[in-house]
Amino acid sequence: MKPLCRKRLLRSCCLFVISLSACLPLQAQTPAKSYQLDDCHFHLTNYIQKGIDVHDLLDLMGDRVGRVALFGIPLQQQWSYRNDGDRAPEYYLASDSPLYYYSFTDAYIAMQYRSLSKDEQARFDPMITGFNPADMYAADHIRRVLQTFPGVFTGIGEFTIHKEFVSAKIPGEVASLQDRALDQILDAAAEIGLVVLIHNDMDTPFPKAGSAPAYLEQMKELVRRHPKTTIIWAHTGMGRIVRPVTGHAAIIEAMLKDPAFDRLYFDISWNEVAKYFVASPESTRIAANLIEGHPDRFLFGTDEVAPPNQKQYLRTYDQYAPMWTLLSADARGKVLKRNYERLFDEARVRVRAWEQAHSK
């Protein structure tokens, strides 16, 4: 074969490979460096939509945290001068004024993500949060965000349904696990391939002694209605005041053994949750045994909100130290990294494919 013909053939082959690659689903990018943990639950901004720059977060992650599920907070604390005067509230418990849904958070997170280099972007999985889960138009909002910011988002959440003190501060219809609007959100997540991170307290803050957990059965029914949706239940159903219910570990284990909940996962984020897990040697052993028995179904997260330094950022990870020592290396590796990478890598590929199929 003449040299010119060989060059033409080689060039044609290269063009074919490039064209073929462009038609294939985008493959998830995983940082090549070996990091200590991933974080499935991080708030870049707080209840007044202030926080740290994503580049500062990279500094906090350093060489310890590989990937982070990145989101703001979907609710804005109103500053009512009639109630608070010049004392600007910075947290939802610092004022009697209401909270309201703040949809611009999604655009803010998207632009923060887009300010990063491609290698830096590979370490983040932005999440859509700026929707009202009691609104039948919420699923449309999620699709609109994906079409406006293609190549950015991987999941939805953390969003809340029943949350101590928060639910009652939001005007209008109270979010419910039995709402058709929520069903439409989870249907859309299954269709698109989005990971869902949902906060729903298993019980009320001050339950009647001996009563069944207020929202457990409703939550179980919700998951049963959406067997194709990947759902991460934040904090295993606990809150700041909502303590572990009687038989908490046994309740979770029963769900993990039931095939109806095969796509349900639990995150163990938040220092307020960690304090219950490591409250005593016995509670730590129970938690470790639960995770060791189902190591594919738990994910670690910090649930930090705009932390000022790495020590603050990783305080929950450090708090769990007694439990980490009780877990096998395999279980610990799954909870800290591999479960995150499995779920979010799959979501990246599926969501990018949906965006390509629904591009404007």
- What pLDDT, in 10s, does the model give residues 338-348? 999 999 999 99
Burial of 246 (0-12, 13-18, 19+ CB in 10 A): middle
Flag whether 174 is in a domain: yes
Flag whether 207 is in a domain: yes
Flag whether 322 is in a domain: yes
Flag whether 4 is in a domain: no
**How is residue 144 written in tokens?**
């609109």
Cα–Cα distances (Å) from 195 to 27, 82, 187, 235, 345, in that order, read 16, 40, 12, 16, 10
Q: What average pLDDT does the structure give for the chain?
A: 91
Q: How many domains does the chain have?
A: 1
Flag whether 14 is in a domain: no
- Percent of the chain clearing pLDDT 90 (strictly above): 83
pLDDT in tens, 141-178: 999 999 999 999 999 999 999 998 888 889 988 999 99
Reply yes or no on whether the pLDDT at 8 is more than 50: no
Flag whether 20 is in a domain: no
Flag whether 193 is in a domain: yes
Flag whether 17 is in a domain: no
- Tell which residue, 70, 58, 65, has the closest CA to residue 34: 65
CATH number at residue 186: 3.20.20.140
Range of the domain at 242: 40-357
**How is residue 319 written in tokens?**
């708090």
